[in-house]
């Protein structure tokens, strides 16, 4: 048996791991994603129709939820493999800015997750419910609505997803991580498609100052989400490439 650690060529690289808050900011906010992921719509009507189809696919009432932002990236890896990467989402993930917004599973269960700002679990200086009027701990609380681990028998797209109700310091509403086989008719060429969708604000119902805050937050969210998807793609493709090369040298 050959020593594959010395001889097997690995053409791809895993995403670099952040060491602190500064590297999180650099990797997830300042860094321009290699591939753009935000789906842009030609009109509000097209956006609403796309949103309706996404929500119906995951079994959410369209009348009560409105998905504002949808990100999608092609990944050259099987659907099941990518979904397993999503199931491993935790505070050690290299695909998430864990120094800025740490992922903490409640009782080690992916069904219930807290996103903690800077990893802080309690308010400092004796504050009990907020810090200077800001409710930031947890930044988000994710409660599972449904985790679809196996596709339906009639589902030719081989779709699987994690769907959460999300509340906290900045209520999102719903958050879904969705992966399916690519659809040739849509011009998708990669083996699979990874989709993140969120509803986190409601245009037309706030004052202008609040709208500005929301749009700033939305811009930050879009940059971070795009980098997260690019990193999941990079990690999944690297691991498959490594496994293939290791097999050659066994």
Helix %, strand %, coil % of the chain (to 5):
30, 25, 45
pLDDT of 144 reads: 94
Separation of alpha carbons 110 and 112, rounded Å: 5
55: left (phi over 0), alpha (psi -120 to 50) or beta: alpha
Separation of alpha carbons 82 and 136, rounded Å: 31
pLDDT of 46 reads: 86
Domains of the chain in start order, with CATH, are 16-248 (3.30.530.20)
Per-residue pLDDT of the chain (250 residues), as tens digits, is: 333 334 344 457 899 989 999 999 999 999 999 999 999 888 888 888 888 888 888 887 766 666 678 999 999 999 999 999 999 999 889 999 999 999 999 988 999 999 988 888 775 655 555 544 556 677 888 999 999 998 877 777 889 999 998 887 665 788 999 999 998 888 899 999 999 998 865 444 445 445 665 677 778 889 999 999 999 999 999 998 888 776 655 5
pLDDT of 211 reads: 60
61 alpha-carbon distance from chain centroid: 21
pLDDT of 4 reads: 36
For the entire predicted model, the pTM comes to: 0.83
pLDDT of 191 reads: 95
Take residue 91 and report the two structure tokens written for it: 């505070």
Burial 92-111 (b: 16+ CB within 10 A, else e): ebebbbbbbbbbbeeeeebe
CB atoms within 10 A of CB 217: 13
Cβ atoms 179, 83 nearer than 8 A: yes
Give the position of tokens 């060529």. 9
Among 64, 73, 220, smallest CA distance to 139 is for 220
| Residue 101 φ then ψ, to 5° | -140, 90
Cβ atoms 139, 119 nearer than 8 A: no
């Amino acid at each position: 048996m050959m020593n594959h650690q010395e001889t097997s060529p690995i053409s791809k690289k895993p995403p670099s791991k952040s060491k602190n808050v500064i590297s999180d900011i650099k990797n997830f906010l300042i860094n321009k994603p290699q591939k753009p992921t935000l789906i842009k719509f030609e009109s509000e009507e097209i956006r609403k129709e796309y949103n309706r189809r996404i929500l119906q696919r995951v079994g959410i009432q369209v009348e009560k939820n409105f998905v504002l932002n949808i990100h999608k990236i092609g990944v050259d890896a099987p659907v099941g493999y990518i979904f397993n990467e999503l199931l491993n989402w935790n505070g050690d993930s290299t695909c998430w800015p864990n120094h800025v917004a740490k992922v903490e599973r409640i009782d080690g269960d992916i069904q219930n997750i807290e996103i903690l700002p800077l990893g802080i679990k309690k308010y400092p200086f004796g504050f009990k419910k907020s810090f200077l009027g800001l409710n930031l701990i947890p930044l988000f609380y994710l409660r599972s609505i449904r985790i679809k681990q196996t596709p339906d028998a009639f589902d030719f797209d081989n779709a699987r997803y994690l769907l959460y109700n999300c509340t906290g310091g900045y209520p999102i509403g719903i958050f879904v991580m969705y992966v399916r086989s690519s659809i040739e008719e849509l011009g998708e060429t990669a083996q699979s498609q990874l989709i993140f969708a969120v509803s986190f604000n409601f245009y037309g119902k706030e004052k202008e100052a609040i709208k500005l805050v929301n749009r700033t937050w939305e811009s930050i969210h879009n940059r971070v989400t795009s980098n997260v998807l690019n990193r999941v793609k990079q990690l999944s493709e690297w691991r498959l490439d490594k496994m293939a090369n290791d097999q050659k040298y066994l």
